[in-house]
């Protein structure tokens, strides 16, 4: 097993300690969350009782495969804990959405009573957060949004297995931009204010970032 796999498993194990019997758990997306879902499934087989809501079709299918009870948001009262990954992190903000599930991720993560981020060391950035910011947009609005964000090298994400753009689970386009986030919270809100942008991949509200490494984990 490669070192990164150990790191992801250790981050997932640390987050699992916050799951208690009877909780409703929000399951995020990504490779580190896949390890968390696998470990959670092992606990469920040993008698842990949890109900989960998921941020993506892939996470839903994986949870069901591991024997975890999955439901929809209209069937729950609260989300006690959300566990999700990230593409890049600093102590103040995250970049998420590389997998295209950013809107559902933010809905689940921001509505949870506690939101824990799990990553390996390769996702941690020093200094200012910068990189690819993912936007979920209404197809009708995409040409106007591309023009408004022309200074940030906007591009509609194209599908690899078919002709045409990537379509999100919500039927929307994904636009990727390059940004340096001197003030992540301000930019998150600015992007939210642009008509046609459903959601953006800047996350500034979370309770804990667990960083896994080969020997264990640390809290960022």
> Rounded distance, CA 12 to CA 35, Å?
6
Residue 119: how many CB atoms within 10 A of its CB?
Answer: 26
Q: At what angle are helices 31-45 and 3-16 packed, to 10 degrees?
A: 50
**CB-based contact 30:6 (threshold 8 Å):** no
Given 35, 105, 132, 188, the catalytic residue: 105
Catalytic site residue 105? Answer: yes
In the chain, where does DSSP find H-type helix?
3-16, 31-45, 57-65, 102-111, 142-148, 184-192
**CB-based contact 35:12 (threshold 8 Å):** yes
Distance of CA 18 to the CA centre of its chain: 18
Residues labelled as active-site residues: 105
């Amino acid at each position: 097993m490669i070192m990164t796999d150990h790191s992801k498993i250790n981050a997932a194990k640390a987050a699992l300690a916050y799951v208690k019997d009877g909780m409703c758990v929000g399951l995020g997306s990504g490779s580190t969350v896949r390890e968390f879902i696998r470990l959670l499934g092992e606990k469920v087989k040993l008698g842990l009782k949890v109900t989960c809501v998921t941020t993506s079709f892939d996470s839903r299918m994986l949870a069901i495969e591991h024997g975890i009870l999955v439901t929809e948001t209209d069937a729950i009262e609260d989300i006690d804990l959300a566990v999700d990954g990230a593409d890049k992190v600093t102590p103040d903000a995250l970049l998420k959405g590389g997998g295209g599930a950013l809107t559902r991720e933010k809905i689940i993560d921001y509505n949870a009573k506690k939101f824990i981020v799990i990553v390996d060391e390769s996702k941690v950035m020093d200094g200012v957060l910068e990189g690819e910011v993912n936007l979920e947009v209404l197809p009708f609005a995409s040409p106007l949004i591309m023009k408004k964000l022309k200074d940030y090298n906007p591009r509609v994400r194209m599908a690899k297995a078919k002709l045409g753009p990537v379509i999100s689970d919500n039927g929307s386009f994904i636009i990727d931009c390059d940004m340096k986030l001197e003030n992540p919270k301000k930019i998150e809100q600015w992007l939210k204010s642009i008509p046609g942008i459903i959601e953006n991949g800047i996350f500034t509200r979370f309770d804990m970032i667990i960083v896994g490494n080969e020997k264990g984990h640390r809290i960022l």
